C-alpha cells in the first residue's frame, strides 16, 4: 500500500472506529476491535497491545500469528519505547539491538504509547513484512486512534 493510500485509509477508519467504540470504556473490547480494524483495513502483518503489569509488558488483544506473552523491563522495541517514553519506529528490526523476533517474517515495526496522565499503561505494537514501512504519519494517526476514553481504564487491568 502506498503512503498516500495508507493515509487515506487512516482518515477513513478513524471516524469509523470512533463510532464503533463510542460509549465503550472497557479496554479489552476496544483494544480487540482496534486490532481487527487496523489489520483488516491496513493489511499489517501483526497488530497487538502489550499491557503494563508492574515491570513487565504482557500480551493483550492482538491480530496475527502467535506472539511472546511477556516482555521484560526494557526488553525489545516495546520495552525500549516504554522506558524512553516515546513512540519508536524501527525501519529494520534486525538492526535494532535487543529486538524480540516473535516471527521471522517481521521486517519493520512501530510501537506507540498509551498514556494515562503521563504514565505508560500499554503499548500498541505493529509489525510489517516490508522493510521501512512506518513513518511519523503512522505514529500521528495511531496516536489519534489511541486517544480514547478506554485508556483511562487500562491501569489496574492486572490488579495494580
Query: Which residues lie near ligand SME (CB under 6 A)?
Result: 46, 67-68, 71, 76-78, 99-100, 102, 106, 109, 125, 127
* Smallest distance from ligand SME to CB 150, Å: 21
* Smallest distance from ligand SME to CB 141, Å: 20
Grid coordinates representing 43 are: 493489511
Tell me the torsion sign for CA atoms 123, 79, 129, 3.
positive
Provide the Cα torsion 123, 61, 21, 111; round to 10°: 20
* Smallest distance from ligand SME to CB 101, Å: 7
Q: What is the 3-state secondary structure (H, E, C) of 112-149?
A: EEEEECCEEEEEEEEEECCCCCCCHHHHHHHHHHCCCH
Of 28 and 68, nearer to ligand SME (C-beta) is 68
* Smallest distance from ligand SME to CB 4, Å: 26
CB nearest ligand SME: which residue? Answer: 76
Q: Are 3 and 133 in contact (CB under 8 A)?
A: no
Grid coordinates representing 87 are: 513512540
Of 60 and 76, nearer to ligand SME (C-beta) is 76
Of 100 and 120, nearer to ligand SME (C-beta) is 100
* Smallest distance from ligand SME to CB 12, Å: 26
Of 9 and 67, nearer to ligand SME (C-beta) is 67
Of 65 and 156, nearer to ligand SME (C-beta) is 65
DSSP string for residues in 35-98: HHHHHHHH--SEEEEEEEETTEEEEEEEESS---SEE-TT-HHHHHHHHHTS-EEES-GGGSTT
Amino acid at each position: 500500500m502506498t503512503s498516500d493510500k495508507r493515509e487515506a485509509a487512516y482518515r477513513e477508519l478513524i471516524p469509523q472506529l470512533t463510532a464503533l467504540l463510542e460509549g465503550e470504556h472497557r479496554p479489552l473490547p476496544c483494544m480487540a476491535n482496534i486490532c481487527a480494524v487496523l489489520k483488516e483495513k491496513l493489511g499489517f502483518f501483526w497488530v497487538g497491545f502489550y499491557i503494563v503489569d508492574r515491570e513487565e509488558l504482557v500480551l493483550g488483544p492482538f491480530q496475527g500469528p502467535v506472539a511472546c506473552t511477556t516482555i521484560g523491563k526494557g526488553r525489545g522495541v516495546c520495552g525500549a519505547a516504554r522506558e524512553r517514553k516515546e513512540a519508536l519506529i524501527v525501519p529494520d528490526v534486525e538492526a535494532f539491538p535487543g529486538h524480540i523476533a516473535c516471527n521471522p517474517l517481521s521486517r519493520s515495526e512501530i510501537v506507540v504509547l498509551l498514556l494515562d496522565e503521563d504514565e505508560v499503561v500499554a503499548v500498541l505494537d505493529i509489525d510489517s513484512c516490508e522493510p521501512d514501512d512506518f513513518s511519523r504519519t503512522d505514529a500521528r494517526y495511531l496516536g489519534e486512534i489511541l486517544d480514547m476514553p478506554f485508556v483511562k481504564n487500562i491501569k489496574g487491568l492486572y490488579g495494580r
